[in-house]
Amino acid sequence: MYFLTLDIGTTALKCCIFDTELRIVKKSSVEYTLNISSEGHITLDPEIYWQSIVKAVGENISNISPSDITAVGVTTQGETLISIDREGSPLTDAVVWLDARAEEEARFLRSRISDDEYYAHTGISAIDPANPICKLLWFKNNAPEIYEAAYKFLLLEDYILFRLSGKFITEDSIMSSTGYLDITTGKLWDKILDAASIDSAKIPDITRPGTVVGKLTEHAAQDLGISPGIPVICGAMDQVCSAVGAGNVRPGIITETTGTALAVCATVERFCPNPKDIYRSAVFRHVCGRYIMMPYNPTAGIILKWFKEQFMESKIDYIRIDRMSAEGAAGKNGLFVIPHFAGKLSPEYAGAMKGAFIGLTLNTKTADLLRAIMESIAFMLRENIDMLNAMSVETRAVYSLGGGANSAFWSQLKADICRVPIRSLTVSESTSLGMAVLMATAMGYYSSVDEIAANIAPDYREYTPSANNNYEEIYVEYLKADKLMRKLYETTHD
């Protein structure tokens, strides 16, 4: 008997099959390319997500009896929004979370609701164009025919659950990214919906992560080549699932994921915002009735992908990039990358900020630029770890997840820059594992997620700070450069 998990990321989908002992049996992945317009619209045809699922599942079940798949579960990126009609057909392409079209709507809502009030209800530090509440208002203002025709506005996880089960439903961890969920109650926050004049009936019912939302439909089963009628289980936002897969469901553990974005996760028992706090970490509803502090920034590993695709030969892979980066001498030559290619969210909110390469000379080499990109992500990680420390979240070690954890050089850089041990998990699919944990609990194989997490002892490679590679002075210079760029874009976007 097997669990089938779907982890749908920004630029790739991963499909895994786990046995009931939560051991991975097979896995496959499919990449896709986002549509990026000159106006900053970032979209994808929803059918591409579905066809990618069909392809990935087909690759995994080639030697497995369809009747042995006992459940399917879904975890996805947050914030990506899809409008559908009453039959469930998309009215537009998916508006991907990186899409920045709703800047005017964000400004309007900020004029109606203070940052303090917004944070106290949503756990999001400031109203940002990426928040779906702003995108809903954008549709209302700029495409009223789409807004009126929409039966529901679904997040990506909700849409895939609908394609699998025919049910319109969402869950509260992924809803924590919207700006219209009150994370203190787990219900819709009527005040901001009223401020944006959004009809709450257009938002699906809310449940908890790890809930059986329905059964696999005949049509979906035929597409996927598995048996109809098996349970369809909602997961959690991908970063939450990743934390679950690493055993990060209780206070005292910190994980970081360097994927498309950078997300740092620390489990806490309760959400108690204080208007006097200097720092504000994004906070999401977690599993087991807890919360997860999640300082994050929207661009991290995607910068390396962008650089590779735009400026390097296609045959060069990430193993070669790792080796080239080790040959570079970026930070120590005064070369810095400001990694906020889609705005900065944490520790300080600077939504208008852009990325930059600073300190270029005629002697700058490709290897220097690659190393500077990797260092910049490590500097960004250091900033957010320092913020958590200032908020009394102790950091003894950081468990590293995502694609970045596969790079030994990058992991050592993070240890040297952050001055804490970095433990790169050898389990490469922690998000899918977290989904499988939720499925095993929902199916009754375990009594609770806590029970499973207590027994998760993931293998890891540890990287300790090197005494011979001290980045303290370079980090201070990076912070100065970052502050300079923040002031520049604040001035030009007032």
> Please, which pLDDT band fits residue 492 given cuts at 50, 70 and 90?
low
Tell me: do 338 and 361 sit in the same domain. Answer: yes
Tens-place pLDDT, residues 178-231: 999 999 999 999 999 999 999 999 999 999 999 999 999 999 999 999 999 999
Domain match, 493 and 399 both: yes
Confidence of residue 457 (pLDDT cuts 50, 70, 90): low
- Cα separations (Å) of 120 from 3, 111, 196? 37, 17, 18
Same domain, 228 and 324: no
Same domain, 345 and 216: no
Residue 427 has pLDDT above 80, yes or no: no
The pLDDT of residue 482 is 95
Q: Are residues 47 and 129 in the same domain?
A: yes
- Indicate which CATH number applies to the domain containing 114: 3.30.420.40
Q: What is the pLDDT of residue 40?
A: 81
**Structural domain tally of the chain?**
2
pLDDT value of position 452 = 84
pLDDT in tens, 3-34: 999 999 999 999 999 999 999 999 999 999 99
The model carries a pTM of: 0.86
pLDDT digits (tens, 9 = 90+) for 88-101: 999 999 999 999 89
The answer on 334 and 188 residing in a single domain is: no
Residues 36 and 185 both lie in one domain: yes
Mean pLDDT score, 39-50: 95
Same domain, 206 and 285: no
Instruction: Report the chain's mean pLDDT, rounded to a whole number.
Output: 93
On whether both 180 and 46 belong to a single domain, the answer is yes
Q: Percentage of residues in the chain with pLDDT exceeding 90? A: 78
Residues 269 and 152 in one domain: no
Q: Find the helix packing angle between 408-418 and 366-390, rounded to 10°.
A: 50
Residue 42 in this model has a pLDDT that exceeds 60: yes
At 409, is the pLDDT very low, low, confident or very high (cuts 50, 70, 90)?
Answer: very high
Whether 280 and 133 share a structural domain: no
In this structure, the answer to whether residues 121 and 70 fall within a common structural domain is: yes
Query: Could you tell me which residue, 263 or 351, shows the higher pLDDT?
Result: 263
Residue 110 has pLDDT above 90, yes or no: yes
| Confidence (pLDDT) at 493 | 60
Considering 200, 235, 270, which residue would you say is the last residue of a domain? 235
| pLDDT for the residue 488 | 86
Q: Of the candidates 213, 235, 257, which is a domain's last residue? A: 235
**Pick from 42-51, 217-226, 325-334: least confident:** 325-334
Which domain range does residue 6 map to?
Answer: 2-235
Question: What is the predicted pLDDT for the residue at 280?
Answer: 82
Domain boundary among 203, 219, 235: 235
Mean pLDDT throughout 38-65?
93
Least confident interval from 22-31, 150-159, 444-453: 444-453
Query: Does 277 score more than 80 pLDDT?
Result: no
